[in-house]
Chain A
Amino acid sequence: NAGVMQNPRHLVRRRGQEARLRCSPVKGHSHVYWYRQLPEEGLKFMVYLQKENIIDESGMPKERFSAEFPKEGPSILRIQQVVRGDSAAYFCASSPRQGHYYGYTFGSGTRLTVV
């Protein structure tokens, strides 16, 4: 009964490097959501994916950020050329279906620090 697995838990990158954050959803869940959280802030929606498809990326910056959820393997959130402002906790959540009846299961997050 594994929940949502995110790795790494902590990631330190120098400015200009790339950050790759991984998320394995609950087994059987085909919907994945990425959220970003700053201290004392709520969870800001970034992107919603189903297997091999990006459904909604309205919350994700157009430059430097990308996300995928391949047919096999985890979902990946990729941040290129990181800047200090990218430092935050990134949470992934999954649900069995999109719709009004299903709660999200969240992972423990990846805390990205850009130095």
Chain B
Amino acid sequence: QQPVQSPQAVILREGEDAVINCSSSKALYSVHWYRQKHGEAPVFLMILLKGGEQKGHDKISASFNEKKQQSSLYLTASQLSYSGTYFCGTEGAGNTPLVFGKGTRLSVIA
């Protein structure tokens, strides 16, 4: 079951914050976040495991609420380099391959 991401697209000015959500109808064991720039490979950002943990590096962080089967990615004080499409990938029990959402296109403008 493909996770649902929202919003589909967002435009920010440099320095603004954004939240990208990812929700699933299935029980999740972990959530991965990736960023893909146009014409390039998706790049791994972080994994969140069940247990409701929150992670972050630099000004990008994420949370995972396993009871609600939701994860959110937080981008604070956005930079031009944050532009790209963000994908969440979800993993259920049984070590199954990641299932990705359709992505959220983020554009940061000066």
Contact = CB atoms under 8 A, between A and B. Distances in A.
A85 interface: no
B101 interface: yes
B42 A98 contact: no
Contact of B103 (A4, A42, A103): A42
A43 B98 CA distance: 10
Interface stretch (A13-21, A63-71, A72-80, A104-112): A104-112
Interface majority SS (helix, strand, loop, mixed), chain A: loop
A109 B95 CA distance: 24
Q: Which of A43, A45, A56, A108 has the most CB of B within 10 A?
A: A43
B30 A56 contact: no
Given A41-B102, A101-B49, A104-B32, A48 B41 contact: no
B47 interface: yes
B42 A43 contact: yes
Contact of B95 (A35, A100, A104, A106): A100
Interface residues of A, number: 24
Interface string A89-115: 001000000111111111111000000
Interface residues of B, number: 25
B29 interface: yes
B27 interface: no
B40 interface: yes
A106 B43 CA distance: 7
Contacts of A48: 97
A63 to B, nearest CB: 21
A98 B93 CA distance: 12
A101 B98 CA distance: 12
A99 B30 CA distance: 9
13 contacts: A35-B100, A42-B2, A42-B100, A42-B103, A44-B100, A45-B99, A100-B30, A101-B30, A101-B47, A103-B47, A104-B44, A106-B41, A108-B41
Given A33-B97, A43-B42, 17 more contacts: A40-B102, A41-B103, A42-B2, A42-B100, A42-B102, A42-B103, A45-B99, A91-B42, A100-B30, A103-B47, A104-B34, A104-B44, A104-B98, A106-B43, A107-B41, A108-B40, A108-B41
